[in-house]
């Protein structure tokens, strides 16, 4: 019996001879799908006493802070370094976005930039980015511009034509920001205008991992690496894969068993996590309405009489989010006006390479 050796091709010299439409299709699938997060650390204006180093810039003063939780600037995709055709294709929709600045020693300004492609990348907002959203925004040409760091302005700055998918944390919709999003949705412009896909997440997990092949397989490598991952809450296979990665690869100092157990719980086939998350989203949407009735006339359970019953329960679900009677007609009709949002689970890879930390701790113990 003759054994054949398996070989993997590392070159394809016939690629330039392929039809142009086929080459462009290959470039399209080669573009990375990444997430850029807008957080308070990246959108805060200069603090009191700081020098104004952004007066020459045409954007708001954004800062990048040295923390595991800050957004990570995205590098240009590796595709832009392949050839002229690939570079041109990647530049058709992607571009550099100036997201901040810092002073330089000679009095100049160093601009901080991230690559963002609205055709493939997702713009993600967490709850810290919405603390300054005004309760009554001033509108101009469909944009709410009362505050310089308003999410509507941020969204349009990043995701102008074509618009990118948007992901928002459930906590970001609480309180005044919830009313802001409801108002913007009713106008069908501003923040929500042209968005091809809406996502929200209830929970976020910070993963303290090294840079092993298993990590690269999920989060990408090199310039195409993404530190933020949004996983469909119904994709149980992917969630189990991330749970195993968390257990096998986590820094022992940061490993928490309860997180691993929680990841196991949300993959339960009964989808209790999904149902509860959407119920909380509906409660937020109902609370964000302009005129929320405190009570209403409803039929008794035996349908024999009419009773006055409160629509709002006193218990809080998330921050200031109140429970509503979803069986009531007003709630049912109002919920129908919600955008169709996809529930995802938010994973953030720590910017620190914990392989190095573990190596240093091991060496210090050996000495």
One-character DSSP codes across 10-62: ---TTGGGS-HHHHHHHHHHHS---EEEE-HHHHPPPPTT-----TTSSS---
Query: What's the pLDDT at 33?
Result: 93
Rounded CA-CA distance 195/277 in Å is 22
Nearest-angstrom CA–CA distance, 25 and 34 = 19
Q: What is the mean pLDDT of residues 148-165?
A: 75
pLDDT at residue 49 is higher than 50? no
Q: How many residues does the chain have?
A: 367
Max mean pLDDT among 55-69, 95-109, 128-142, 208-222 falls in: 208-222
pLDDT tens track for 85-94: 989 999 998 9
When pLDDT is cut at 50, 70 and 90, the band that residue 132 belongs to is low
Question: How far is Cα 165 from Cα 192, in angstroms, rounded to an integer?
Answer: 10
Percent of the chain residues topping a pLDDT of 90: 22
Query: Which own/partner pairs from 179-186 qualify as long-range (CB within 8 Å, at least 24 positions apart)?
Result: 179/135, 179/288, 179/290, 180/130, 180/133, 180/134, 180/135, 180/137, 180/144, 180/151, 181/288, 182/285, 182/288, 182/289, 182/290, 183/137, 183/290, 184/144, 184/152, 185/337, 185/339, 186/337
Kindly indicate the confidence band of residue 123, based on its pLDDT and cuts at 50, 70 and 90.
very high
Least confident of 121-125, 157-161, 246-250: 157-161
pLDDT confidence of residue 270: 76
Q: Which of 28-37, 52-61, 215-224 is least confident?
A: 52-61
Handedness of CA 140, 144, 149, 154 (dihedral sign): negative
Sign of CA dihedral 84, 87, 91, 96: negative
Provide the β-strand partners of residue 140. Answer: 143
Find the mean pLDDT for residues 255-264.
80
Contact 36, 116 (CB under 8 A): yes
**CA 320, CA 172: separation in Å to the nearest integer?**
11
Pairing of strands 122-125, 35-38: parallel
Digit-coded pLDDT (tens) for 272-289: 889 989 988 998 888 888
For 342, what's the count of Cα atoms within 13 Å in the CB-facing half-sphere?
Answer: 16
Closest CA to 63 of 129, 147, 126: 129
Most confident of 11-15, 111-115, 158-162: 111-115
Locate all alpha helices (DSSP H) within the chain, ordered by sequence.
20-30, 40-43, 84-93, 151-158, 176-187, 213-219, 236-249, 257-265, 272-287, 329-335, 354-366
Cβ distance 204 to 126 under 8 Å? yes
pLDDT of residue 46: 44
**Residue 350 — very low, low, confident or very high, per pLDDT cuts 50/70/90?**
confident
Q: Give per-residue pLDDT as tens, 297-348.
A: 555 556 565 555 555 554 444 444 577 878 778 888 899 999 899 999 999 8
Mean local confidence (pLDDT), 240-268: 82
- Given a contact cutoff of 8 angstroms between Cβ atoms, the answer to whether 294 and 310 are in contact is yes
Angle at which helix 272-287 crosses helix 176-187, to 10 degrees, equals: 80
Give which of 186, 330, 345, 205 is closest to 277, Cα–Cα.
345
Residue 116's DSSP bridge partners are 95
206 bridge partner residues: 348
Query: Which residues touch 172 (CB under 8 Å, ≥6 apart)?
Result: 125, 126, 127, 129, 130
DSSP one-letter code for 159: S
The pTM is what? 0.78
CB atoms within 10 A of CB 175: 20
């Amino acid at each position: 019996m003759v054994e054949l050796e398996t070989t993997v091709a590392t070159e394809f010299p016939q690629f330039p001879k392929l039809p142009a439409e086929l080459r462009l299709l290959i470039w399209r699938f080669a573009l990375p799908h990444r997430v850029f997060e807008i957080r308070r650390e990246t959108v805060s204006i200069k603090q009191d006493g700081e020098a104004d180093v952004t007066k020459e810039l045409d954007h708001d003063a954004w800062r990048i802070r040295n923390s595991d939780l800050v957004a990570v600037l995205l590098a240009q995709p590796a595709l832009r370094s392949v050839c002229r055709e690939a570079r041109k294709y990647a530049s058709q929709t992607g571009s550099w976005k100036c997201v901040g600045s810092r002073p330089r020693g000679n009095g100049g300004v160093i601009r901080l930039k991230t690559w963002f492609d609205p055709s493939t990348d997702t713009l993600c907002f967490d709850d810290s980015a919405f603390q300054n959203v005004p309760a009554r925004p001033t509108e101009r040409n469909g944009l709410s511009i009362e505050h310089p760091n308003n999410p509507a302005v941020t969204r349009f700055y990043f995701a102008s034509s074509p618009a990118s998918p948007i992901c928002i944390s459930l906590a970001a919709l609480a309180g005044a920001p919830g009313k802001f999003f409801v108002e913007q949705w009713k106008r069908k412009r501003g923040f929500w205008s042209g968005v091809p896909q809406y996502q929200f997440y209830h929970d976020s997990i910070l993963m303290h991992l090294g840079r092993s092949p298993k990590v690269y397989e999920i989060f990408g490598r090199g310039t195409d690496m993404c530190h933020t991952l949004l996983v469909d809450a119904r994709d149980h296979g992917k969630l189990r894969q991330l749970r195993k990665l968390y257990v096998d690869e986590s820094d022992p100092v940061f490993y928490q068993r309860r997180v691993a157990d929680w990841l196991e719980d949300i993959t339960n086939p009964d989808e209790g996590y999904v149902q509860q998350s959407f119920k909380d989203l509906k409660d937020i949407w109902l609370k964000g309405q302009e005129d929320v009735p405190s009570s209403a006339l409803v039929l008794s359970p035996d349908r024999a009489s009419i009773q006055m019953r409160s629509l709002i329960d006193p218990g809080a679900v998330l921050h200031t989010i109140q429970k509503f009677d979803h069986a009531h007609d007003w709630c049912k009709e109002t919920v129908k006006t919600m955008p169709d949002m996809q529930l995802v689970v938010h994973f953030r890879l720590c910017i620190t390479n914990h392989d190095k930390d573990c190596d240093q701790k091991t060496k210090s113990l050996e000495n």
